[in-house]
Chains A and B, each alone.
Chain A
């Protein structure tokens, strides 16, 4: 419920390794709330979320370690440089084995390693936020409108990042206004906001 309004009920979803779930629906139908419930940031009013058969509130830290969340906010500090932000993300989660400079290279921010995030454009900040996905190791990626502020080239680049993640047995849950092209068996669609 959000401000005493019922958003959705009787939802049943299950996701396997290598699969992506795209949540769709009109604005205000609860996509963000659902994603936040899946991350554990928000408690559902009823029902439960299982990760490998165990409820996530019991798993706590172990579950968080395997989840990466990029929400509406970028989650980066403007007063710190790109590299400092990524180092912090690694300290807070499970670091991946990729060198941070390579991560920046992949998202086309290599030149801005030492620049303060405050002076970057919106698209660049978003790319840094998504770079977090590469800097840390997580099986499940939960992404809320990841392509906001990105140009076509960046969108294509991240789409292939997502594909690679799925091929490596990762999982993705995301919402997006943009179309994702993926092989059918890897893709599940969930439509929220249908009046009952």
Chain B
């Protein structure tokens, strides 16, 4: 009796819709990326341009900047849908919400996390990071930024209906970001010092799988609560 679309078709539809929206709101999505670059540039200015110092702090600095940029970009996942009523319509869809959420989060990562992958090597080079460390850095960004989007989505879903949501969002989400920061930064640092970073990379992969399997459901529950 039901001739609704299959789940994968709905998934792709929502993903494409979000990508299209991002394209038409280019300015809004460029801000976090700009912020990322600015923050990293601040450090040599503040600490003096000594190459050894910069190379030593580079992994940590880049990752802290990535974290902050991710937090800035989180609001865009659900805010506009919440404000114009589209979120309700998504929640009223017969398709499983958790998977629709995954579509939105994937779109968010493609628009905010992937660009970091392109820009980071340039900045790493500017800070004097050795080449093999840069490869590790890219790997950590590739694995780590989806985790940031997934976990951040939970926080946004919890706070999207609140007036001062942004502040609480940072408070909620930062403790959860700490493990990613620790393992990603130290993996890169290890690579920079010539050690093997695979243990940390595996931990990051484990976090990624954990987030993919748990976060959509937590986010869906939080959205239902926010929209009620």
Contact = CB atoms under 8 A, between A and B. Distances in A.
Judge A-B direct contact (beta carbons within 8 Å).
yes
Interface of A: 36, 39-43, 61-62, 64-65, 67, 69, 71-80, 84, 87-95
B3 interface: yes
A92 B25 contact: no
B85 A94 contact: no
Q: Please classify the interface of chain B as helix (H, G, I), strand (E, B), loop, or mixed, using the class held by over half of its residues.
A: helix
B228 A75 contact: no
B4 A65 contact: yes
Contacts of A88: 13-14, 17
Interface residues of B, number: 30
B24 A79 contact: yes
B173 interface: no
Given A77-B80, A79-B24, 6 more contacts: A39-B92, A77-B21, A79-B25, A92-B14, A92-B89, A92-B90
A93 B93 CA distance: 6
B84 A92 contact: no
A74 B85 contact: yes
Nearest to A92: B93
Query: Which of A36, A67, A72, A88 has most B Cβ within 10 Å?
Result: A88
Given A71-B85, A73-B85, A94-B4, A65 B94 contact: yes
24 contacts: A41-B88, A41-B228, A42-B228, A61-B96, A62-B2, A64-B92, A64-B93, A65-B4, A71-B88, A73-B84, A73-B85, A73-B88, A78-B84, A79-B25, A80-B17, A84-B17, A87-B13, A91-B9, A91-B13, A91-B14, A93-B4, A93-B92, A94-B94, A95-B4
